Amino acid sequence: MTDRAAGFDLAARTALVRGARAIGESGMVVGSAGNLSLRRGDRMLITPRGAELEAIDPRDLVDVALADGAVSADHAGDSRPSSEAALHRAVYAAADAGAVVHTHAHYATVLSTLVEEIPAIHYVVTAFGGPVRVARYETFGTDALAAAVAEALDGRCAALMANHGAVVAGRDVEHAVALAEQLEWVASVYYHARLAGTPSILSAEQLAAVVEQSRALRYGLGVPAA
């Protein structure tokens, strides 16, 4: 497999398959739910429709134009892009990202039916740009859902999707997978804290101090360490 203009060589395909396998094995998806993509310039490489993430063949990944969703003319397989290709395209248009992960993670999905956002229950929300908003409900695979998520991602790199699941945008596949895992963790913390009582929420000033400390310790834009 040779490098193409969009840069989707075997290394890129292997990276996406590795991320898909990590999400598939994490328990954050059931069956063929969930999808991942990575971006190169004006194109994205996305997981195929109806595939189980832990069993994807690199050759089944689909090269898609961000502008109109057209599949690359040299796509040799029978696979089609994920039904959420429009969602991924909208995320890339709304966020400076190199990869996108969409899951149906349990606690994120539960909270998407209960709240309008995940507040600053823990300082890890700084990795997402702040409290995580819940995008309004729209039918899966539609432009309306893509638009709703793009709105919820304003100034953020993560959002919940009402009665549906979660989406994150990362620098690369590895970063996006890490963000998806952290989002599900903080969703679990908030869910259980609400069951136990009235959780304490960090202030904007406290979050700003976390961001400054992360910079001082050179965590950069990644997930803050404990």
Task: Find the mean pLDDT for residues 82-90.
Answer: 96
Query: Which residue in 25, 52, 54, 84 is the catalytic one?
Result: 84
**Residue 196 in this model has a pLDDT that exceeds 90:** yes
pLDDT value at residue 1 = 32
* Stretch 35-50: mean pLDDT: 96
DSSP letter for 116, please.
S
Helix pair angle (10-26, 173-196), 10° resolution: 20
Q: What is the average per-residue pLDDT within 45-57?
A: 94
Model confidence at 2: pLDDT above 50: no
pLDDT digits (tens, 9 = 90+) for 161-185: 999 999 999 999 999 999 999 999 9
Q: What average pLDDT score do residues 83-104 get?
A: 95
Q: Give the model's pLDDT for residue 3.
A: 35
Confidence label for 7 from pLDDT (cuts 50, 70 and 90) = low
Main-chain dihedrals φ then ψ at residue 225, nearest 5 degrees: -80, 165
Q: Among 111, 94, 223, 93, which Cα is nearest to 160's?
A: 111
Helix (H/G/I), strand (E/B), else coil: 102: strand
Question: Average pLDDT, stretch 205-214?
Answer: 94
Residue corresponding to tokens 């709240």: 115
Provide the pLDDT for residue 218: 74
**84 an active-site residue?**
yes
pLDDT band at residue 157 under the 50/70/90 scheme: very high
pLDDT > 60? residue 4: no
The fold of the 10-216 domain, in CATH, is L-fuculose-1-phosphate Aldolase (3.40.225)
Share of the chain above pLDDT 70, in %: 93
Q: Where are the domains of the chain?
A: 10-216
- How much is the pLDDT for 223? 52
Q: Does the pLDDT value for residue 125 go beyond 90?
A: yes
**3-state SS of the chain: helix, strand, coil percent to 5?**
40, 15, 40
